[in-house]
Structure 1
Amino acid sequence: MWHSSMADVHTRIMKKNYDPVPQWWFYSLLILIIGLALLTFLLGIGLALLFTLPIGVITATTNQQQGLNVITELIIGYMYPGKPLANVAFKTYGYISMSQAIMFLQDFKLGHYMKIPPKSMFIVQLVGTIVASSVYFATSWWLLTTVKYICDPSKLPEGSPWTCPGDDVFYNASIIWGVVGPQRMFGNLGLYSKINYFFLLGIIAPLPIWFLSRRFPERKWIRLINMPILISGPGGMPPTRAVNYNMWFAVGIFCNFVVYRKFKGWWARHNYILSAGLDAGVAFMAILCYFFLQIKDINGPQWWGTDADDHCPLAGCPTAPGVKVDGCPVVN
Structure 2
Amino acid sequence: MPANQLLGERQPLLTDMTSSDKSNDGVTSAVERQSTSDSSIDPIQSNGGFGEIISNGGYVEGDVENLKAPADSDEDLPADLLAIPKIVRDTVPLEDDPNTPVVTFRYFVLAVIFILPGAFIDTMNSYRTTSAAYSIFFVQIASHWAGKWLAKVLPHKEISVFGRYKFNLNPGPWSIKETALVTITASSGATGSLGTSGISLAEIYYGEKVHPAVAIFYMWAIVFTGYAFAALARNMLLFDPQFIWPQALMQTNLLQSQAKSDGDSKVASKQMKVFFCALLGLTVWQFFPEFIFPFVSSLAFLCWVAPHNATANFIGSGLGGMGFLNLTLDWSNITSQIMIYPYFIQVIQFVAFVFGAWILIPAAKWGNLSGFKHGLMSNGLFTSAGDKYPASKLLTPQLTLNETAYAEFGPVHIGAQRAWNNFFDYAAYVSGIVWLVVFGHKQLTDSIKKLRNTYKVAKLEGNNSKKSSINAQYTDRLNVMQTNYEQVPLWWYFALFVATFVILITIFATGHLFIPWWAYIVALGFGLLIVTPLCWLYALTNFQLAIGSFNELLYGYMVQNIAARHPAGATTYGAIAGDVFYRAQYMLQDQKIGHYMQLPPKVVFFSQLFGELLGVPINYAAMRWILNTKMDYLNGSKVDHLHQWTGQSIASYHTNAVQYVILGPKRTFAQYPILQYGFLLGAAVPIILGLLHKFSHKTRVGKLRFDLWNTTVFFSSMSTFYGNVSTGYLSKFIGGTVTMFWAYRYKHDLWRRYNYILAAALDTGYNLSLLLIFLFFSAGKTVVMPNWWGNNADSVERCFAL
Q: TM-score, normalised by structure 1?
A: 0.65
Partner of 1:83: 566
Partner of 2:698: 217
- How far apart in 2 are the matches of 1:299 and 1:254? 37
Q: 1:226 to 1:41 in 2, by over 3 A?
A: same
From 668, 675, 684, the equivalent of 1:195 is 675
Equivalent pair of 2:630/2:645 in contact (CA under 8 Å):
no
- How far apart in 1 are the matches of 2:656 and 2:546? 14
Partner of 2:784: 297
State the Cα distance separating 1:202 from its structure 2 match: 0.5
Percent identical: 27
- How far apart in 2 are the matches of 1:127 and 1:228? 34
State the Cα distance separating 1:251 from its structure 2 match: 2.7
Are 1:175 and 2:658 an aligned pair? yes
Are 1:286 and 2:770 an aligned pair? yes
Partner of 2:606: 123
Are 1:254 and 2:254 an aligned pair? no
Equivalent pair of 1:104/1:125 in contact (CA under 8 Å):
yes
Deviations 1:279-320 (A, max 9, x none): 5454434333433456522399559x9749798x6xxxxxxx
Deviations 1:160-211 (A, max 9, x none): x99866543433332232212221111xxx2211221121111111122222
Partner of 1:108: 591
Equivalent pair of 1:49/1:98 in contact (CA under 8 Å):
no
> Please, which moves more after superposition, 78-87 or 41-50?
78-87
- How far apart in 2 are the matches of 1:148 and 1:60? 37
- How far apart in 1 are the matches of 2:791 and 2:597? 40
Equivalent pair of 1:77/1:181 in contact (CA under 8 Å):
yes
Q: TM-score, normalised by structure 2?
A: 0.30
- How far apart in 1 are the matches of 2:800 and 2:706? 37
- How far apart in 2 are the matches of 1:292 and 1:233? 36
AA matched with 1:296: V
Equivalent pair of 1:45/1:94 in contact (CA under 8 Å):
yes
Deviations 1:261-290 (A, max 9, x none): 134467579866765665545443433343
AA matched with 2:674: K
Q: 1:75 to 1:310 in 2, by over 3 A?
A: farther
Equivalent pair of 1:110/1:272 in contact (CA under 8 Å):
no
Partner of 1:69: 548
Are 1:208 and 2:691 an aligned pair? no
AA matched with 1:75: L
CA RMSD of aligned residues (A): 4.0
Are 1:94 and 2:581 an aligned pair? no
Bigger radius of gyration, 1 or 2? 1
Partner of 1:58: 537
State the Cα distance separating 1:44 from its structure 2 match: 0.9
Equivalent pair of 2:567/2:662 in contact (CA under 8 Å):
yes
Deviations 1:211-230 (A, max 9, x none): 22222216383322211102
State the Cα distance separating 1:80 from its structure 2 match: 1.0
Partner of 2:712: 228
State the Cα distance separating 1:142 from its structure 2 match: 6.7
- How far apart in 2 are the matches of 1:125 and 1:309? 47
AA matched with 2:524: I
Equivalent pair of 1:85/1:174 in contact (CA under 8 Å):
yes
Q: 1:126 to 1:50 in 2, by over 3 A?
A: same
Higher relative contact order by CA 8 Å / sep ≥ 6: 1 or 2? 2
> Please, which moves more after superposition, 288-297 or 273-282?
273-282
AA matched with 2:676: N
Q: 1:73 to 1:290 in 2, by over 3 A?
A: same
- How far apart in 2 are the matches of 1:282 and 1:119? 34
Q: 1:166 to 1:192 in 2, by over 3 A?
A: closer
- How far apart in 1 are the matches of 2:518 and 2:798? 43
Equivalent pair of 2:519/2:573 in contact (CA under 8 Å):
yes
Higher fraction of helix: 1
- How far apart in 2 are the matches of 1:83 and 1:243? 36
AA matched with 2:783: K
Partner of 2:721: 237
**Structure 2 unpaired stretches of 5+:** 1-508, 510-515, 639-643
- How far apart in 1 are the matches of 2:630 and 2:763? 35
**Structure 1 unpaired stretches of 5+:** 1-33, 156-160, 314-332
Partner of 2:616: 133
- How far apart in 2 are the matches of 1:195 and 1:148? 34
- The count of residues paired between Structure 1 and Structure 2 equals 269
Equivalent pair of 2:531/2:580 in contact (CA under 8 Å):
no
Q: 1:148 to 1:73 in 2, by over 3 A?
A: closer
Equivalent pair of 2:570/2:657 in contact (CA under 8 Å):
yes
Q: How does 1:2-17 map to 2 (within 5 A)?
A: none
Equivalent pair of 2:699/2:706 in contact (CA under 8 Å):
no
- How far apart in 1 are the matches of 2:598 and 2:732? 29
